[in-house]
Structure 1
């Protein structure tokens, strides 16, 4: 306790109003005796933490030097305070801080002179040196130094900080705060409107409050509106207002699927819909909080309740490799525990490097899609805890909100037909460029998630012991699988079909027609033209289909099983969602290198930016057809009878005459104006 007082046998202390005497010190324990002679042993740490603990006769402890408070103080004032510090230290301890090895001067020796005597000696010394001070001045400096350290010796006139809002009346501050709060859900306006509204609120108070000048109000506005986007984007302003006032909460997820979040948002890309019309899509995605894995993401013109159920079904089923994907995207070449998972689910033999995660808890907002009966029933079927967040509180699911924003910056802006977040950021004639279809764009998004997102180091997946290392979602999944001690088993194929949306249709001789696509299979032969026996559905058959996979549908047979019917043109038209069979399985492949994955992402973004090849071929054919039509038109004009062509002007050569004939305009005959009153007066 050197420098802060010493405690030894014979010292008296006061603890919570009781006077005690120290009779012994043994290591970290102190033996105390009260006025009655009762001895007790107390740990030193407990004694010092006891309420009201003081050592009788010890001086006030010096304050810890607060060097940070000297920032912004003029250098001359700091130098003057350090000069005073040398003298105050000599008054307190008999020596200056720069003379620790020397002896105390007789007039400042604590063993010979009292504290008051040392203060009088300092007054006499300074006055003799030409510095006029009084005893009260030295005593005041000594007390302030003991309380505040070096900052207590600084001239408070230069260290005094002005109030945050200056001398503006508090009523004006409150009125402007109220005016700024009104802009949260309103349209964006200028600072002049907020000042006008502040004056209106002050006038409504009824008491005479002095209104500062315009320049003062503008300075006050800059301080109160800092970080609130009052005059900026209305979307950003509302988002900032939704943030909690206190510390951000955090829910820790230690296993895959323990906590997942789902949400949807418009995608800033124009596409060609099924009817050929240019439109926009909605992106619905699901993310695992523990691993930041995007388990599924689907695109639809309008998100419906059945789409959320299909998204849930895709989450718990493997992602198959697609034709055209590089071999580095296979799960067998990733950091995922493929061999262990393959022993549980054989479908992972040809799966892409995206984990299959079965949710335990799903957090969503109060959108009609997610609180619908279909989605709740799907969650009950899988034993998932359905947890809606608070209304109008996107901070309850921040991970999926951030993921949807990352899709816009990392994927959508590279795609042909990108529109930007709003009309202010939109280019000209975006709809006239090459546009992807909805199914093609879905395939590009799936490939980007497997190639880019799952292999991108995430800032939220850092090792607490080594914060400089950031993991990818696939690496975090592999690590948590080892820590969790189990591997979640995905759904079977039958369970996946049960989760798909259903429709009721007849089975005709040519098969089943859905959205102008015909599906057929030999197993449907006994059912063609036959009633299903379900009178409530007009004797039609139950059919389950995947809205994002146009290659096949499933028909429930009379025995309760499923018959798979394929699209009739699947073998002739390449579709991005066809589940193709592999010719052979390559064994013992090395893990995919970062260079291979990076090349795959680069090729994907370049292909998405160029647009579909079919559109380019069509544009080339159109250009050739236009040239052919123009050539035929010129040939027809050259073959006109001579009587219809005006005579050449003298001095013209044949080439100039031909050019003049081609550029000569025909006679314009204006159409008469239609007069409805004149027409009404005509006899009929």
Structure 2
């Protein structure tokens, strides 16, 4: 069959010429003037009295008398093309010059190799002169090894060759887009079908494009970690941090997913689960916790999809998933499309919520307004409450084009409606977590129980509950008989030790000497400032006194503390406002004075990037109220409101 689609792309004159040749060749073959045309057969084209060669010669003479340059060889060649390729074979063929020209094959192979090497290394984009240098170095290496080389072309010729070999679809893309392109698996792609709530839950983190005000007046850009259910598009949990999400914060998301969100003071009655479009009475009969719950679905994940971030591949998070019977599915590094649903949700939060808040800075510096820093006025707890309220009132009640019921394929559903439709089929099995379950989410360490108690990080924890176990073997051979210890980096005043009877809280021996709550973030700052010149006990007591002095100075009068000290305490206090399920407050909570529930955190290493230093990227601009916003972006560049 001739490619009729390609024929439509040709000029009218070219198509008409092909049709004319077809009529002439049809007469050579059958004697008739054209397909479907009847008429007398001329004697020179009569198949019964002439041969094919005679008819071809007659057609050549006829075309030449009509003014066409058609020799016998030309007619014969066109006949062969028509028989083998049909009408498309009669289209004039133009020779197309190769983009590579007469370039040396060895040179072409070397340039391809250098291009691929740079893409795999994800190097920053440079100039073509760098590529020419690298190709020249490869040429020198080949000459040293005695391999056949090539002659380096002039810069202009090399630049043309490089442009011909480079992927044209990636020339205008930035490095992040290029990394995403090269990290994706080879097509074809198969869409993942999810049919149950919790069958596939995506975990991911992203910086929030809104500046928050810390206690000392400095500004910081928090990081948000969410858990998104693919089947219903429901956000099951959200954690906000100013110093970066830690391992236990990801584990706390699991607790939020399986625990109802309790109504906050000031929230309207319409935000309750009882007023949502869900089978509330049936759900309440199997899960009494929903009586005072807000309209956020409660879903037990079956499989969580994570990236290669250290937060999600940490022992704390993987151990929490294992204890809850949840499978973990990692995605390839730097592969955003593998978590496309949650990545798109981040973009929707920007367009539907964040751009309306004071202190919005845009996704990159080029979008930032001149007065964004002076507009910032929200604290981290306030931003957390705004996001959670928006998720309930806006996100979960907004129709998504990607959510369709099999019986109503033309009707888009909201995440709450989709959850109600699916939970009516799959059912709801509550998973209440006890205090011990929440302790399991904390960071784990292994230490011996000595006569002094348990010591680590220049803190000593001791209690009468450890009597009878001092110097004893725990029976865990893989840990050389040490005891399992869980600790909360947002509340270092106590730890939990797993004894044969269960978890037992053990206080810090100097907890009474520190008047105000503190975190691991603050403790690491004190450890760097106070150098050890005494024994362990004296140095620990000196650290406790220095910590109490710092907290008192920062709390009473800011001018008595240095800029770095105010920033350390401000970050710590901001992270104490993270919301956790009420049942976890005793284990995961912080003793800080605050309105919202305290947060849970992860252990921080000695070289933790969240520990402030001279290069800490915090804005020290004092916030000022009410400044005009930045210029308005064109909404046509945003996503379609119905993006799913």
TM-score bracket, normalised by the shorter chain, equals 0.5 to 0.7
Partners of 1:356 and 1:293 lie apart in 2 by 9
The answer (yes or no) to whether the contact 1:552–1:567 under 8 Å persists in 2 is no
Partners of 1:455 and 1:222 lie apart in 2 by 49
- Match in the other structure for 1:162: 97
- Match in the other structure for 1:105: 41
**Equivalence map 1:92-491=2 (5 Å):** 92-97=29-34, 100=36, 102-103=38-39, 105=41, 107=43, 119=56, 122-123=59-60, 125-126=62-63, 129=66, 131=68, 133-156=70-93, 159-184=94-119, 185-202=122-139, 204-206=141-143, 209-226=150-167, 233-273=174-214, 277-301=218-242, 302-325=244-267, 328-391=270-333, 393-428=335-370, 430-458=372-400, 460-461=402-403, 470-481=412-423, 485-491=425-431
Cα distance 1:535–1:288, how it changes in 2: closer, same or farther (>3 A)?
Answer: closer
Partners of 2:140 and 2:584 lie apart in 1 by 71
Partners of 2:592 and 2:103 lie apart in 1 by 79
Cα distance 1:109–1:232, how it changes in 2: closer, same or farther (>3 A)?
Answer: closer
Task: Look up the SS of the partner of 1:105 in the other structure.
Answer: coil
- Match in the other structure for 2:546: none
Q: CA deviation at 1:142?
A: 1.8
Partners of 1:142 and 1:505 lie apart in 2 by 100
Greater C-alpha radius of gyration: 1
Task: Look up the SS of the partner of 2:426 in the other structure.
Answer: coil
Task: Look up the SS of the partner of 1:549 in the other structure.
Answer: coil
Partners of 2:55 and 2:422 lie apart in 1 by 69
Cα distance 1:92–1:468, how it changes in 2: closer, same or farther (>3 A)?
Answer: farther
Task: Look up the SS of the partner of 1:386 in the other structure.
Answer: strand
Task: Look up the SS of the partner of 1:140 in the other structure.
Answer: helix
Comparing 241-250 with 495-504, which one deviates more in the overlay?
Answer: 495-504
**C-alpha offsets along residues 514-550 of structure 1, whole Å, 9 cap, x if unaligned?**
989x9xxxxxxxxxxxxx9959657999xxx996238
Pairing 1:549–2:579 present: yes
The answer (yes or no) to whether the contact 1:260–1:289 under 8 Å persists in 2 is yes
Q: CA RMSD in A?
A: 4.6
Task: Look up the SS of the partner of 1:269 in the other structure.
Answer: coil
Task: Look up the SS of the partner of 1:80 in the other structure.
Answer: helix
Cα distance 1:349–1:183, how it changes in 2: closer, same or farther (>3 A)?
Answer: same
**C-alpha offsets along residues 107-141 of structure 1, whole Å, 9 cap, x if unaligned?**
45667777566545544544565556444433321
The answer (yes or no) to whether the contact 1:257–1:288 under 8 Å persists in 2 is yes
- Match in the other structure for 1:6: none
Structure number with greater CO (CA < 8 Å, separation at least 6) is 2
Q: Where does structure 1 lack aligned partners over 5 or more consecutive residues?
A: 1-63, 507-513, 519-531, 557-561, 579-613, 620-684
Q: CA deviation at 1:339?
A: 4.0
Task: Look up the SS of the partner of 1:248 in the other structure.
Answer: coil
Comparing 352-361 with 211-220, which one deviates more in the overlay?
Answer: 211-220
Partners of 1:217 and 1:465 lie apart in 2 by 60
Partners of 1:441 and 1:400 lie apart in 2 by 20
Partners of 1:65 and 1:379 lie apart in 2 by 59
Q: Where does structure 2 lack aligned partners over 5 or more consecutive residues?
A: 444-460, 464-488, 494-501, 512-574, 599-622, 628-644
Of 8, 19, 22 in structure 2, the residue corresponding to residue 85 of structure 1 is 22
Cα distance 1:258–1:616, how it changes in 2: closer, same or farther (>3 A)?
Answer: same
Q: CA deviation at 1:311?
A: 0.8
Partners of 1:146 and 1:533 lie apart in 2 by 87
**C-alpha offsets along residues 315-364 of structure 1, whole Å, 9 cap, x if unaligned?**
11223443444555444454444343333324334443332211111121
Partners of 1:535 and 1:441 lie apart in 2 by 33
The answer (yes or no) to whether the contact 1:188–1:232 under 8 Å persists in 2 is no
Of 414, 438, 442 in structure 2, the residue corresponding to residue 498 of structure 1 is 438
Partners of 2:230 and 2:40 lie apart in 1 by 67
The answer (yes or no) to whether the contact 2:252–2:580 under 8 Å persists in 1 is no
Cα distance 1:321–1:85, how it changes in 2: closer, same or farther (>3 A)?
Answer: farther
Q: How many residues align?
A: 482
The answer (yes or no) to whether the contact 2:582–2:597 under 8 Å persists in 1 is no
The answer (yes or no) to whether the contact 1:257–1:358 under 8 Å persists in 2 is yes
The answer (yes or no) to whether the contact 1:553–1:565 under 8 Å persists in 2 is no
Task: Look up the SS of the partner of 1:263 in the other structure.
Answer: strand
Partners of 2:503 and 2:436 lie apart in 1 by 25
Q: CA deviation at 1:314?
A: 0.7
The answer (yes or no) to whether the contact 1:257–1:360 under 8 Å persists in 2 is yes
TM-score (norm 1): 0.59
Q: CA deviation at 1:313?
A: 0.7
